[in-house]
Amino acid sequence: FTARYTVTGPRGHTVAEGDATIGALGTFSVDVAIPEGADLGDHQVNLSVSGGWFGSARDFYHSFAVESYRAPEFEVAVERLEASPLVFGDLLKAEIQGRYLHGAPLVGGEVRYTMRRQESGYTPPGPENEGFSFGQRWTSPWGWRGWEIGPGSGGGILVAEGEGALDARGVFAVEHAVKAVEQDLHAPKGTTPAKGDAPEAATYTLEASVTDQNRQAIAGRSSFVVHPALRYVGVRADRNVYRAGERARLEAVVVDLDGKRIADAPVTIELVREETKRRAIEREGRWVYEYSTEEIAAGGCSPVSAAAPVGCELDLSKPGTYRARASVRDDAGRQAQSARTFYVYGEDATVWEQDERRVDLVPDRRRYEPGETATLLVRAPFDRAHGMVVIERDGIAETRPITVEGGSATIEVKIGATMIPNLHVGVVLDRGRVEVPGAPPEQDLGRPAQAFGTIELEVSPESKRVVVELDPDRTELAPKETLRLRLKTRTSGGEALPAALAVMVVDEGVLSLIGYQTPDPLAFFHRKRSPGARVFDLRSYLLRRQDVEPPQGNEQSENQKAPEEPMAEAEYAPPPAPGASAADRAEGGAKFAEEKASPAKPKPVLSRAANKDATTALALGGEAGAASEVSLRTLFATTAYFNPEVRTDERGEAT
């Protein structure tokens, strides 16, 4: 079938229009001529196809930019002088290098640099280490709050900055002593950085901007991980959710920075249970709930590491939140610690968290494959409650009743292929009026209440991915030579797959101007879906019970005046605006909005080399000698080759 396309310029005028034929694989291509003197800016592409509601057309939009630019003449690289790993206390030595694209050093270029530190943690590589927790920053098993970010993270802190010039080798050296605890250069005077029990791995990012004599500025950056020790200990439990009375198998491994197992290292494993208590108290004339949490030892062991995981089995006698901690030391005596959190439910009443209005949902894994079953622990703020489970994906997909006993329950959700790449599970609970020991009856702290919680479950889209392999016959070419490129397309399981590819060979220098990254069609066609639903409950506005005396004659007593309802802790806010998203939905009408992060400050344009794990330096101009003759480049096209559709055969191959 065909589709009508229209290309509109930034001032609303039509640049091109016509009919495009949609191929068997749902693809099409059109050529849009950009004339000399065309308007600069974003151009809009509108594609209209039939098949909408009641015979109407369906419209799709895309945009591209037309810009005036000058191709970069040099690139900037940031590299460490040594390949040895960094630990706290070392001196970080790095070089900022400026090189022309034809290979000569950039001498005298102006340099400005900054170095930032972010508490990032570190997970040693290797599939055999998956499932183990390394470090203490993310102790929850991809739990109910997602990947929590500790204080001082986010954009990190600024630890060094400066300026200078590239030397005769096109190099500018930077040195910085990395410490376990550092202060932000822009922190207010007198501020003391917080000290943790044990340092966590941190990532230092050195970013530099180099300006040449033509006032063209190019940026480059590189990141370096600094470790607390030269070995790590990983800890895991055989499950994330248990029932009281069961035994937990705790295991640990000791690995080096490359993820290789280390044997004969003493390991300490301890298990603690967090016990939270809640009581009613009077504070500033109001009665509220006060919470206190303490850690209670629940067992431990001291195994010696081996090639296989080592550990012990411990009894879980009471419900609650449990945390397993493991520690090890390297040959220099530096300590590395890791922690893992899991949960135990049972018939005994459990106070999970210091929040009366939230239901926490804990999944049994981080990501699911289609066909699997997700098991979620419901951690409720009520000892006993009734409610509803809502499975949401662009609306309400399924509902089911739920009963909570002892502050917890479990639910199971069958994951289907139609749920790729995500779905949301929400739980809303209602509790009737209860008596609260210690609180005056007129305060009515035990009045009917409701709580709500939701979680997003990630469903792997890898079964939909087309794996593309590129095999060029050489990595360096002289001007006017021909490159032969072999293409292979496979399924995620490695089987040959006939497919259509768009092949582009583009000037690396031009791509660096916009920090171009190859687009991922999988992420485009399988975008995350919103819940498309919200929860509202009028009972969230329920006032406390009042005893009012009858009027005496025509006089109005103090007891007849409308009482002013004091706002208790975590009191209710106005209902959310209609159409609020799940992230902004109310806890049954209570304000449940997450603060949206402020837009990041604009960053300097980075070279493509700064955004890739490895780069190949290309000679984009100049001369290339071959024996006794010299071949000069005469075609300076930005795009050397473009083919909108290359089809691979039944073996998934094309050239």
Scan for tokens 């893992």, then name that residue. Answer: 340
Burial (CB < 10 A; 0-12, 13-18, 19+), residue 419, is buried
Of the candidates 100, 115, 94, the residue with the CA atom closest to the CA atom of residue 210: 100
Q: What average pLDDT does range 612-625 have in this prediction?
A: 33
Give the chain's end-to-end CA distance (angstroms, integer): 29
**Predicted local confidence at residue 554, as pLDDT:** 56
Encode burial over 611-624: b for 16+ CB neighbours within 10 A, e otherwise.
Answer: eeeeeeeebbbeeb
242-246, 390-394, 514-518: which has the minimum mean pLDDT? 514-518
pLDDT tens readout for residues 492-534 = 889 999 999 999 998 877 887 777 788 888 888 898 988 888 8
148-152, 232-236, 293-297, 603-607: which has the minimum mean pLDDT? 148-152
57-66, 161-170, 299-308, 586-595: which has the minimum mean pLDDT? 586-595
CATH number of 74-125+140-227: 2.60.40.1940
Share of the chain above pLDDT 70, in %: 80
**Predicted local confidence at residue 386, as pLDDT:** 94
171-177 β-sheet, strand order? 74-80, 91-100, 171-177
Q: What average pLDDT does range 78-82 have in this prediction?
A: 91
Q: How many whole angstroms separate alpha carbon 74 and alpha carbon 579?
A: 50
Task: Give the pLDDT band (50/70/90) at residue 555.
Answer: low
**Predicted local confidence at residue 155, as pLDDT:** 61
Task: Give the pLDDT band (50/70/90) at residue 184.
Answer: confident
Q: How many whole angstroms separate alpha carbon 270 and alpha carbon 252?
A: 11
16-30, 191-205, 232-246: which has the minimum mean pLDDT? 191-205
Q: What is the pTM of this model?
A: 0.67
Q: How many whole angstroms separate alpha carbon 232 and alpha carbon 407?
A: 36
Tell me whether domains 126-139+230-348 and 358-461 share a fold: yes
Q: For residue 179, count other CB atoms closer than 10 A to its CB.
A: 16
Q: What average pLDDT does range 626-638 have in this prediction?
A: 50
**Predicted local confidence at residue 470, as pLDDT:** 94
574 pLDDT higher than 90: no
**Predicted local confidence at residue 536, as pLDDT:** 80
Q: How many whole angstroms separate alpha carbon 327 and alpha carbon 200?
A: 13
Who has greater pLDDT, 267 or 407? 267
**Predicted local confidence at residue 350, as pLDDT:** 74
User: Dihedrals φ, ψ of 578, to 5°?
Assistant: -55, 140
**Predicted local confidence at residue 538, as pLDDT:** 80
45-54, 390-399, 444-453: which has the minimum mean pLDDT? 45-54
Q: How many whole angstroms separate alpha carbon 427 and alpha carbon 610?
A: 44
Residue 622, amino acid: G
Q: How many whole angstroms separate alpha carbon 278 and alpha carbon 288?
A: 10
Encode burial over 532-563: b for 16+ CB neighbours within 10 A, e otherwise.
Answer: ebbbebeebeeeeeeeeeeeeeeeeeeeeeee
**Predicted local confidence at residue 2, as pLDDT:** 86
DSSP strand E in 415-461: where? 422-431, 449-459
Q: What is the mean pLDDT of the chain?
A: 81
CB-based contacts of 518, cutoff 8 Å, min separation 6? none
CATH number of 126-139+230-348: 2.60.40.1930
Name the fold adopted by 358-461: Immunoglobulin-like (2.60.40)
588 pLDDT higher than 60: no
CB 338 within 8 A of CB 134: yes
**Predicted local confidence at residue 89, as pLDDT:** 92
41-50 β-sheet, strand order? 14-21, 2-8, 41-50, 57-66
Q: For residue 279, count other CB atoms closer than 10 A to its CB.
A: 12
Task: Kindly give the residue spans of alpha helices, DSSP state H, lying in 380-529.
Answer: 508-514, 521-525
- Give me the residue spans of the domains in the chain: 2-66, 74-125+140-227, 126-139+230-348, 358-461, 464-525+622-654
**Predicted local confidence at residue 53, as pLDDT:** 63
Tokens read off for 651: 């073996």
Q: How many whole angstroms separate alpha carbon 279 and alpha carbon 381?
A: 13
CB 455 within 8 A of CB 361: yes
Tokens read off for 91: 């001196």
Share of the chain above pLDDT 90, in %: 43
Q: How many whole angstroms separate alpha carbon 411 and alpha carbon 389?
A: 8
**Predicted local confidence at residue 147, as pLDDT:** 32
